[in-house]
Structure 1
Amino acid sequence: MIEEFLTQLTWLQGLGTLFGIVQVVLARQNNVHTYLFGIASILISMWVLYQSALYADILLNMYYLVMSVYGWVYWKFGKQKTETPISSVNKNEFLKANGIVLACFLLMSYWLTFHTDSDVPIWDAVVVAFAWAGMWLMAKRKIENWIYLNISNIISIPLMVYKELYIYAGMTVFLFIMGTSGYLKWRKLMKNERELTYATA
């Protein structure tokens, strides 16, 4: 019975990883359909994480689900009813992103420490805090999203190994590599968009 359960979790990790890989590849290409594969990966991950008592990560995935729907709409239409271009954060957005990190860390660390059986409350809270901010920036199509997400990824890798979620640990290594590549790709795309804007002005 236990062996069957572990096999099921491994299979689900593999499927969730596959959807996650497609998602991040599409995100790197600045493709709006990244969110469709992201939603599938999120739903699978929530079940796996629940079985592993990573409760903050479950909440993170619920947030991802909401932000995926918001991000898809914003990428497609934005405020100007046309596809939103890649851009950098301004001072106000930078403060908001760091405010999300701080607020999320304080709330998650408190909740995990005093209201769950998590054995890694601070560790889990830090991973979630940076990921929340990164996902918010991703939905806004801000290039800095890759920086926040990669901070979350680099901290998450040893956490997944500690929880013996080796497939997810491997995927997180891949996400870190793709996050670095994504930042460079978006920077190039943003430069091309600016040059095109200047050329047509």
Structure 2
Amino acid sequence: MQQWIDLLTEQMRHTTWLEWVAVLMGVAEVLLARKNNVWLYPAGIAGSAITITLLLEVGLYAEAGLSAYYVVMSIYGWYLWLRQTGKPPLKVAWATRNEWMITLLIAFGGWGVIYLLLHHFTSSTVPVWDAWVSSTAWAGTWLLARRRVENWVVLNVSNLFAIPLLFHKQLILFAALTIFLFIVAIFGFVDWMKIARQKAYTA
């Protein structure tokens, strides 16, 4: 345990201002998401754009690709949450059967595709692990863009595997951030369940 504390202390000492900005944007994004606030998307875009460069430097190619995907999905989610003029905003609700099928396709199909790309075209030392973290996060982010309650569950599957992966790569600060995101996601799930139930009762 002391070894990890010493490593965290050492990494924090050498953390660049860009890394701090990325971490702070990640914290802001998940807290805003928990509050069902659309400003989560600008925060997410800023944090993800910075994180791409940082992850490429340590060879986590799928994670870097995931951050690029976050940027695209954040733009898509931002649009869906606001919708076009005259259309009602997207409401928090439970995922439909079709949405679950798409989610599973993204998670498992994405896992296979990302693994093959990492295995054949990169120097990744953890292609299976890295691919799974990324594909499940892809699936959870898609559900978040759709404003579905279950996004928190799927994102936490990704977080659960991401934490040891980040420790393995000695990205202790990002591992600590992911632990924080994991905890917040639990509360986010509870909060969004309440919102969905209230909307169901008043519908």
Give the TM-score, by structure 2 length: 0.90
**Equivalent of 1:77, from 83, 89, 107?**
83
Q: How many matched pairs?
A: 192
SS in 2 for 1:143: coil
Identity level (%): 38
1:182 corresponds to: 188
**Equivalent of 1:98, from 92, 96, 104?**
104
Shift of 1:184: 0.3
1:3 corresponds to: none
CA distance in 1, matches of 2:51, 2:125: 19
Q: For structure 1, which runs of at least 5 residues remain unmatched after alignment?
A: 1-5
**Equivalent of 2:135, from 129, 146, 150?**
129
Q: Which amino acid is the alignment partner of residue 30 of structure 2?
A: V
CA distance in 2, matches of 1:23, 1:105: 25
Matched ranges for 1:1-201 at <5 A: 10-77=16-83, 81-197=87-203
Distance 1:80 1:137, change over 3 A: farther
Shift of 1:90: 1.2
Shift of 1:175: 0.5
CA distance in 1, matches of 2:84, 2:98: 18
Q: Which amino acid is the alignment partner of residue 100 of structure 1?
A: I
Shift of 1:103: 1.2
Q: Which amino acid is the alignment partner of residue 54 of structure 2?
A: V
Shift of 1:7: 6.8
Is residue 89–residue 144 contact of structure 1 (8 Å, CA) maintained in 2? Answer: yes
Q: Which amino acid is the alignment partner of residue 73 of structure 1?
A: Y
CA distance in 1, matches of 2:16, 2:24: 12
Is residue 78–residue 84 contact of structure 1 (8 Å, CA) maintained in 2? Answer: no
Q: For structure 2, which runs of at least 5 residues remain unmatched after alignment?
A: 1-11
1:121-168 superposed Cα distances (whole Å, 9 cap, x missing partner): 000001001000000000000111111100000100011111111110
Give the TM-score, by structure 1 length: 0.91
Distance 1:178 1:80, change over 3 A: farther
List structure 1 runs of 4+ shifted beyond 3 angstroms: 6-11
CA distance in 2, matches of 1:10, 1:159: 21
* Worse-matched range after superposition: 183-192 or 77-86: 77-86
